[in-house]
């Protein structure tokens, strides 16, 4: 009997599993309804390279997977397809950037790391990072801001340093996108200043089988538009899991 692929949720930079719990757990409920399996959560707090994060996620699970990642988590999801293409039945990439770190961001990360090591994690989170990730209309939403603050502070400075280094040194995977043969779900925010809609349209053009959705949101799509994400993921996943075994999309080979 064919085992249904396991949805694996991979959070973004300084986010934990609460990222996926908006709208009373609509995203997790949708994944379970579409696949018949309870989504697992990847740990991205222990490693300082994207490759190691991907390897950890693969080692912690068995069988076929549908990695669904947000931002840094989407980068990890693609890296999983590079490392173990035979296990990847599909990819969900939300707020995604396939390139290496932009020069200006790479240059600023060590400055942030030094401040965080000196006790400045809260200031970096609340003044430099998280508010800028939201659509302008959501930047005064105290519930969203509190959750972003609480997730980042709960993860702590050590996780910040590791994730910052992983993002700074990550590989460019633009060429790898052209080699993906499994279905790919892309979603971005119409007001995302970090990974704008034009980038997502570029990724869609490179991936042979990609479905793109742009929602009214900033970068934090899972928190700003959880119902839209849940509904559209459910429809996309249903097309994968409804296929008979012999009709299932091929695993997701990529260029290394």
194 shares a domain with 87: yes
Higher pLDDT pick, 50 / 1: 50
Beta strands (DSSP E) in 145-254 are 184-189, 210-215
Work out the pLDDT band at 244, boundaries 50, 70, 90: very low
235 shares a domain with 118: no
157 shares a domain with 179: no
Work out the pLDDT band at 143, boundaries 50, 70, 90: very high
At 252 the pLDDT is 59
Cβ within 8 Å of residue 73, ≥6 positions away: 9, 10, 11, 12, 15, 42, 44, 94
137 shares a domain with 84: no
Q: How far is CA 137 from CA 84, 125, 200, in A?
A: 40, 19, 22
Angle between helices 103-117 and 142-168 (to 10 degrees): 110
235 shares a domain with 113: no
d(CA 124, CA 3): 43
pTM: 0.94
23 shares a domain with 84: yes
255 belongs to a structural domain: no
pLDDT at 22 over 80: yes
114 shares a domain with 93: no
Angle between helices 50-59 and 72-83 (to 10 degrees): 70
117 shares a domain with 75: no
* Least reliable range by pLDDT among 84-98, 113-127, 233-247: 233-247
pLDDT at 86 over 60: yes
pLDDT at 113 over 70: yes
217 belongs to a structural domain: yes
22 shares a domain with 44: yes
- Identify the residue whose tokens are 């603050």: 149
Query: Region 154-179: what's the mean pLDDT?
Result: 98
Backbone angles phi, psi at 117, to 5 degrees: -60, -25
Domain end, chosen from 116, 132, 167, is at 167
139 belongs to a structural domain: yes
113 shares a domain with 77: no
231 shares a domain with 186: yes
d(CA 82, CA 84): 6
112 belongs to a structural domain: yes
253 belongs to a structural domain: no
137 shares a domain with 236: no
| Domain membership of residue 130 as a residue range | 103-167
Domain end, chosen from 167, 184, 205, is at 167
Q: How many domains does the chain have?
A: 2
pLDDT at 52 over 60: yes
Q: What is the CATH number of the domain that holds 81?
A: 3.40.50.1820
Cβ within 8 Å of residue 217, ≥6 positions away: 135, 138, 189, 190, 191, 192, 224, 225
60 belongs to a structural domain: yes
Domain end, chosen from 167, 191, 220, is at 167
What percentage of the chain has pLDDT greater than the value 90? 89
1 belongs to a structural domain: no
At 184 the pLDDT is 98
pLDDT digits (tens, 9 = 90+) for 207-216: 999 999 999 9
Q: How far is CA 108 from CA 15, 97, 123, in A?
A: 20, 18, 15
For the chain, what is the mean pLDDT?
93
């Amino acid at each position: 009997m064919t085992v249904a692929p396991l949805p694996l949720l991979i959070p973004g930079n300084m986010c934990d599993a609460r990222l996926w719990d908006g709208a009373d757990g609509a995203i997790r409920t949708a994944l379970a309804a579409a696949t018949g399996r309870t989504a697992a959560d990847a740990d991205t707090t222990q490693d300082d390279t994207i490759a190691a994060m991907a390897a950890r996620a693969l080692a912690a699970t068995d069988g076929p997977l549908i990695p669904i990642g947000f931002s840094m988590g989407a980068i990890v999801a693609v890296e999983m397809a590079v490392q173990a293409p035979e296990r990847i039945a599909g990819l969900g990439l939300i707020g995604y950037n396939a390139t290496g770190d932009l020069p200006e961001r790479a240059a600023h990360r060590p400055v942030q790391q030094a401040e965080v090591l000196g006790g400045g994690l809260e200031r970096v989170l609340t003044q430099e990072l998280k508010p800028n990730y939201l659509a302008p209309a959501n930047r005064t939403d105290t519930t969203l801001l509190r959750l972003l603050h609480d997730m980042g502070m709960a993860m702590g400075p050590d996780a910040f340093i590791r994730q910052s280094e992983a993002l700074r040194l990550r590989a460019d995977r633009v060429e790898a996108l052209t080699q993906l043969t499994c279905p790919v779900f892309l979603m971005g925010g119409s007001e995302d200043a970090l990974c704008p809609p034009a980038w997502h349209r570029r990724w869609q053009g490179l991936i042979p089988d990609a479905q793109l959705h742009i929602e009214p949101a900033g970068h934090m799509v899972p928190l700003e538009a959880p119902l839209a994400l849940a509904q559209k993921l459910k429809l996309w996943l249903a097309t994968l899991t409804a296929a008979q075994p012999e009709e299932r999309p091929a695993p997701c080979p990529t260029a290394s």
